[in-house]
Amino acid sequence: MTIGLIVLGLILVGFFGLRAVVSFIRIQQTGLQPGVTDVEAIRGWMTIPYIATAYGVPEEYLFERLGIPAEDNRDKSLGQLNREYAFGQPAAILNAVKEAIRQYQREQPPATQVLP
């Protein structure tokens, strides 16, 4: 049991230690900027109302650009919407949302600061 504990400890320290160093370097390279809302950070678990709030884009605009009704879809994640409305490839709806936000920001530069 003693040797087992030491071996397990060494494996965990090696594995997680390496991963922690890599994560730390990534944080340093990226730099933590709480106010930055990069569209690349949009994920499949997000909902349209959340994205609208976080990126300062009207919900109606996003639903309209995606071509889907807002009714009954406000609580659904992008992943669910992707399946139900058959956008195609898994990343298709993500790309559509990112493009819609970029388009909105080009058309109407934010008058107010987006949420951090």
Sole binder of other proteins in the list 32, 86, 106, 111 (CB under 8 A):
32
In DSSP notation, 11-69 reads: HHHHHHHHHHHHHHHHHHHH---TT---GGG--TT-BHHHHHHHHT--HHHHHHHHT--
109 binds other proteins (CB under 8 A): no
* Residue 66 binds other proteins, judged by CB under 8 A: no
**Any idea which residue has 């499949």 for tokens?**
44
Name which position in 57, 78, 96, 97 contacts other proteins (CB under 8 A): 78
5 binds other proteins (CB under 8 A): yes
Q: How far is CA 39 from CA 5, 44, 86, 113, in A?
A: 45, 12, 22, 15
Residues that bind other proteins (CB under 8 A): 1-17, 19-20, 22-24, 26-27, 30, 32-38, 41, 43-47, 49-50, 53-54, 75, 77-80, 82, 90-91, 94, 115-116
